Structure 1
């Protein structure tokens, strides 16, 4: 399957992994929608870089913690491109929530971004994909639901929900829409990481993977015709360490 002329929505696409996925798809010929929340300057740079590949690129601001913004990104995406062929649910929040300090408010934030937004965006766009007879939904998850670590309970629990959601949507939207997940490990250091060597101590390959490793997995999950409800670990062997 060629990406030329396909339409893709990538959430959280202004920086880091989302940015690289957006530019990778644009380079392959896909028109892209760059979702962002606060990082407008960065999103505009991604949009301009994407258009250098000769594709159509637009940016949409939406706060995925708000129901009206979730609905807005769905409506605006369809207004701009009429149909979406590829959805990459990449947007994420990541910070410590030690169990003793966990609040309902904090959990709600993780839940909105990792569960509510991906589910309702996938539900709406996935229905249209199904009617059109083609679609790909890719969820950027984490290896952590399979091997949790301490002090990030809200993040890991809700990413675990996204893991399960991937299987649910794969069944609901079969056979026309393939839904899969990617389980990143140490791809690039998290913002604010002081010692970038510490996360590598618990991996087999002992190095940061880089965003392009995620792009390789994305490309496979778009081009495959026989993989759904599955997960690609891109975590340097963390799951076997």
Structure 2
């Protein structure tokens, strides 16, 4: 039985990804920080499908917590077939107001945690027959959004980490990414903001977390694909 580790698995894209993997036959190790109750609900659904599920909580902005999480997973899951780095934060702040604390927290969760979790879990990945790492990045990695400078920088770093690890960890470990665009609007977006964004999406609608989950599953099952990032954005990146 294959085993997958998914960060930020309680809500939105992480939840959809965890459930898609459960339906595909993966046993799961699922992480959350604040969304613990939601994570329990995801675990219950996966267990109802006959999957084994291990739940973990950690604040990925804390380097020590990241290291403890990696050590615990190495000890209890000596082989991991798939690692999906989905956890992240997204906030709109004008560049002039981004202080060092905001910047560091953004980079810690969105970029440094995937970097050091993969490093810490490398023994477990190498013990699997055909291991894969997938980063959930963003089309903003290459086409930044206004007033999201620190966020766009973090996702640009994650994009390059995808390519760098594909080179360095191949041929044993494949590393790919999925870049969502307009997928599940943030709750604070008003209708006018939503419509102005959708006007730039060729598909004419927002995506949903299941769209991203299907792309993750595709990459997990493609043995000759590495170093690639699939945009799941309804074509928005074509016209940005």
Instruction: Please give the TM-score of this superposition, normalised by the length of structure 1.
Output: 0.94
SS of 1:58's partner is strand
Question: CA separation in 1, counterparts of 2:121 and 2:218?
Answer: 21
Q: How many residues align?
A: 237
Residues 20-99 of structure 1 mapped to structure 2, 5 A cutoff: 20-99=16-95
Which residue among 224, 232, 235 is the counterpart of 2:233?
A: 235
For residue 219 of structure 1, what is the aligned residue in structure 2? 217
Structure 1 residues 3-58: Cα deviation after superposition (integer angstroms, max 9, x where no partner): xx111110000000000100110111111111000111111111111101101012
Question: CA separation in 2, counterparts of 1:145 and 1:116?
Answer: 15
SS of 1:91's partner is coil
For residue 104 of structure 1, what is the aligned residue in structure 2? 100
Question: CA separation in 2, counterparts of 1:29 and 1:41?
Answer: 23
Instruction: Please give the TM-score of this superposition, normalised by the length of structure 2.
Output: 0.95
For residue 147 of structure 2, what is the aligned residue in structure 1? 151
- Residue 131 of structure 1 deviates from its aligned partner by 4.6
Residues 69-218 of structure 1 mapped to structure 2, 5 A cutoff: 69-195=65-191, 196-218=194-216
Question: CA separation in 1, counterparts of 2:83 and 2:46?
Answer: 17
Question: CA separation in 2, counterparts of 1:40 and 1:220?
Answer: 27
Alignment RMSD: 1.3
Quick check: 2:71–2:120 contact (8 Å CA) kept in 1? no
Structure 1 residues 130-171: Cα deviation after superposition (integer angstroms, max 9, x where no partner): 354421100000001211121001100111000000011111
Question: CA separation in 2, counterparts of 1:226 and 1:134?
Answer: 11
Where in structure 2 are there 5+ consecutive unaligned residues? none
Which residue among 7, 12, 32 is the counterpart of 1:11?
A: 7
Question: CA separation in 2, counterparts of 1:28 and 1:80?
Answer: 22
SS of 2:199's partner is helix
Quick check: 2:80–2:128 contact (8 Å CA) kept in 1? no
- Residue 82 of structure 1 deviates from its aligned partner by 2.5
Question: CA separation in 2, counterparts of 1:80 and 1:29?
Answer: 20
- Residue 106 of structure 1 deviates from its aligned partner by 0.4
